[in-house]
């Protein structure tokens, strides 16, 4: 049975499953901290919210990508992934703080695509920085 877990397909399936669950948890946390309902906005065709959400998903997945490449154990991968996610969550609050002229959540709700694109780029860009620091 031990050899089964050393098989590449089993390992890939396990890591994939962990990351999918992590993305679901990350989206639930982001849903909790935002002032809008992500899936209602996306259902209504709100591109700004879709961009911001896509950036979050990409960011979390990218952090886990770096974590998988840098760690031998699933537990280490999960630890670094969780830490990276916490940093991405912190970035969300920094973005709101650095834009005192408007409220990011309100602009996203109003389908301000410029804010959505900027949110996407911030999440993706900083996920590369976070990922590069994982070892």
Element (H, E) at 72: none
CA distances from 44 to 48, 77, 132 (A): 11, 36, 36
The per-residue pLDDT of the chain, averaged, comes to: 90
The two most distant CA atoms of the chain are separated, in Å, by 59
Residue 95: per-residue pLDDT:
87
Domain tally, the chain: 1
Cα 8-79-98 angle, rounded to 5 deg:
125
Please give the model's pTM, rounded to 2 decimal places: 0.86
Rounded Cα distance between 34 and 30, Å, is 6
* CB count in 10 Å sphere of residue 112: 19
Q: What's the mean pLDDT in 118-134? A: 93
In terms of residue numbers, what domain contains 43?
Answer: 2-133
CA dihedral 32, 124, 16, 21 (to 10 degrees): 0
pLDDT in tens, 54-94: 999 999 999 999 998 887 678 888 888 889 889 988 988 88
């Amino acid at each position: 049975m031990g050899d089964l877990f050393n098989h590449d397909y089993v390992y890939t399936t396990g890591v994939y499953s962990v990351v999918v669950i992590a993305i679901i948890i990350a989206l639930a946390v982001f849903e909790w901290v935002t002032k809008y309902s992500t899936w209602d906005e996306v259902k209504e065709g709100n591109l700004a919210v879709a961009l911001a959400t896509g950036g979050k998903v990409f960011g979390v997945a990218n952090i886990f990508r770096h974590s998988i490449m840098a760690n031998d154990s699933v537990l280490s991968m999960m630890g670094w992934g969780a830490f990276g996610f916490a940093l991405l969550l912190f970035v969300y609050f920094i973005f709101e703080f650095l834009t005192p002229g408007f409220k990011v959540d309100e602009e996203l709700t109003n389908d301000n695509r410029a804010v959505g694109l900027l949110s996407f780029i911030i999440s993706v860009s900083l996920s590369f920085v976070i990922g590069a620091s994982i070892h």
